Amino acid sequence: MSDNLEISRRRLLGTVGAAGATGLALGAAGGAAGHAVLGDGDGGGPALATVGSARVPFRGAHQAGIVQPAQARGHLVAFDLAPGAGRKEAVALMRRWSAAAEPLMAGEPAGSADSGVAGDAGPCSLTITFGFGASFFDRTGLVARRPQQLEPLPVFSSDQLDPKRSGGDLWVQVGADDALVAFHALRTLQREAGAAARVRWQMNGFNRSPGATAHPRTARNLMGQIDGTGNPKPTDPGFDGHVFVAPGGAQPWMTGGSYAVVRRIRMLLDDWEKLRLKDQEAVIGRRKSDGAPLTGGTETTEPDLDKLGPDDRPVIPADAHARISAPEQNGGATMLRRPFSYHDGIGPDGTPDAGLLFVCWQADPRKGFVPVQRKLDRGDALSPFIRHESSALFAVPGGPADGEYVGQRLLEA
């Protein structure tokens, strides 16, 4: 069967509505641009479900996988360039990766050698995002083009980092609402790396599946807490300024790009689950049932950080996570969190290796992640129940224009 015949079976059906929030596809301007596809009577079988048909554009002002809702499945993988590989090999690699990512995100085969693993599925909100670590610029002789925003993150007292699962020359983030589609993309990119790069580390994550709730809801993490209530939204004033690099910077190739901080945060669930509900809520500063602040209201009600209880103590404790991480407590520091949960099995001692693959996006990590994490490091009530086990920082360039591959403005300027 030819690729063209397979593709002809996919027809536009409509726009994904707000009720399918995890299936929304946000284009370069942040608008909804979901597409659905349908068998057209040529024997191609039944129409794809809405979840399967949602498509995210590959090209635009920003790369995909930043403003889109986090998908049900995710893979984070870092590569190191092979010994002896440099700028020439990096150019060829980014060309291959971009040439593969574009059809994959459209729900199409990635060339004639495609494995067919995802052949029965549509795009499933697949996003593929590429970034460069600080070491990439040394390896490719592009040190003069390394942004200052890529300076090493500070050391935090809660860090117990594994260097083998930290850093990396290159980074790829894959997300999709179907596990086979996500795996297929990951496997294709790993194969296309060829002899130019080798995997340094890989992490696999998940979120709630689209349609699992009657209407879109903020996800819960593995502690059972609603996680992400205060995330900035693309419609918020100043959103782009907080998340994306504006034109006119010292490194023009980063215009429209963002910086991704990636942290593997293990949750000490045995200790956490021993706490009474009241104590868990005091640690977070929000009700566990609905995510509302302890000062009352609903999930989206602004916490009243000045409100005192009958004992004349703050209703939201001074060391509550919600208080310490609030932008108004950190000089307005803002970042867009887009995490996945993970579970990597049960250890010999019976404790789960589970937690959060924390990914946050900002125009400058020195003004986003760093000040917030410094504040948390000095007295967050949540700290005894988590452990930061890996860390990385990547420059993620803007999206490719027509005819470009990702990173071309860096590598060929």
Q: Where are the domains of the chain?
A: 269-392
Residues 6+ away with beta carbon under 8 Å from 352 = 269, 270, 343, 345, 346
Intra-chain end-to-end CA distance of the chain, in Å: 41
Question: Residue 47's pLDDT is what?
Answer: 76
Q: Where does residue 296 fall: left (phi above 0), alpha (psi -120 to 50 degrees), or beta otherwise?
A: left
Secondary element (H or E) of residue 283: helix 277-284
Residue 240's H or E segment, with its range, is: helix 239-243
Rounded mean pLDDT for each run of 10 residues along the chain, 413 residues in total: 37 33 35 38 63 96 97 98 98 98 97 91 97 98 98 94 98 98 98 98 96 90 94 94 97 98 98 98 97 96 95 96 89 94 96 98 97 94 97 98 98 91
Q: How many CA atoms lie within 13 A of 247 on its CB side?
A: 1
Per the CB < 8 A criterion, the answer to whether 76 and 202 are in contact is yes
What Rg value do the Cα atoms of the chain yield, rounded? 22
Half-sphere exposure of 325 (CA within 13 A, CB side): 23
Residues marked as catalytic: 227
Cβ partners under 8 Å of residue 116, min gap 6: 109
Element (H, E) at 300: none
Q: What is the pLDDT of residue 45?
A: 57
User: Which residue carries 């596990």 as its tokens?
Assistant: 179
CB 264 within 8 A of CB 390: yes
393 neighbors 151 (Cβ within 8 angstroms): no
Which residue in this structure is represented by tokens 């937690």?
A: 355
Nearest to 167 by CA among 390, 359, 357: 390
d(CA 165, CA 263): 10
- What is the model's pLDDT at position 27? 35
Measuring CA to CA, which residue among 2, 23, 5 is closest to residue 14?
A: 23
Dihedrals phi, psi of 263, to nearest 5 degrees: -135, 130
Nearest to 205 by CA among 173, 229, 227, 228: 173
